[in-house]
Amino acid sequence: MSTGARNPLGIHAAVFAGGWSPQECRHAVSAARATGYDVLEIPALDPSAIDMKDTRRVLDDAGLTGVCSLGLDIDADISSPDPAVAQRGEERLFDALEIAAGLGGGYLGGVVYSALGKYNRPVDPRGRDNAVAAIGRVAARAAEEDVTLGLEPVNRYESNLINTAAQAVQFIDDVGAGNVVVHLDIYHVNIEERSVAEAIADCGEHLGYVHVGESHRGYLGTGSADLDGLFRSLADVGYDGTITFESFSRAVISPDLSDRLGVWRDLWDDGEDLARHAREFMAARLSARA
């Protein structure tokens, strides 16, 4: 956690692009810049699909900071008790770390501790041990590259390992690395936590990245997520790290990711209008709490 300066405002690239071809990269960067953001969060589900050097040039030309996020696959899951599956997941994380380090934003977060998807049983204790050990090794390499790792607690339908802020903090304590933080997402907080304030309090000094999203993944302020409570609580604890808007619609993102996230309908079809509204919404609440 840091204190002092204005929060950098970020946006997830899936608001603008469903993949990361050179054309999609340029469109997402241009749209993020045009709608007033400081940070672009680029999904690294397939790190090999990202041309890191080209992306870095495009980001630098636009004056944007690039960070990465991902969720692992069932067949490449560091929380699996199967050593071969866990190893594939760890290799995926190291590939994504290379991209994150090369982009220069110094951050790699998301569901980096398990697969992103619904499990049919509780986590195997052997699998949790595998995940703790793997994150420890990735964090060690990340520290050498000045990259912070963020663990995003997600709802019970998207992981069986870390669903709450308290679980994330316990996992971080078990890893024992100083560059691992909690990546808190209000969409998931709205499902799993007793309150936003309690979730942020549970994070304590480990809060390092924040996702803002509405309960239905659409326009901010039109659902049931306690967004005012979020900004109030962030101000109360003096958080001034990155705050990133995240939203998904089948109108933009790939069918594969739509299916994994359960995005079955289009709540919006104009990413730039959505992004502009979200930035105004977040900036107004940050100013009110300044």
Q: Active-site residues: which are they?
A: 152, 246
DSSP secondary structure, the chain, as one string: ---SSPPPEEEEGGGT-SS-SHHHHHHHHHHHHHTT-SEEEEE-SSGGG--HHHHHHHHHHHT-EEEEEEEEBTTB-TT-SSHHHHHHHHHHHHHHHHHHHHHTS-EEEEEEEEESS--SSPPPHHHHHHHHHHHHHHHHHHHHTT-EEEE----TTT-SS--SHHHHHHHHHHHT-TTEEEEEEHHHHHHH-S-HHHHHHHHGGGEEEEEE--TTSSSTTSSS--HHHHHHHHHHTT--S-EEE----TTTS-HHHHHHHT--S-S-S-HHHHHHHHHHHHHHHHHHH-
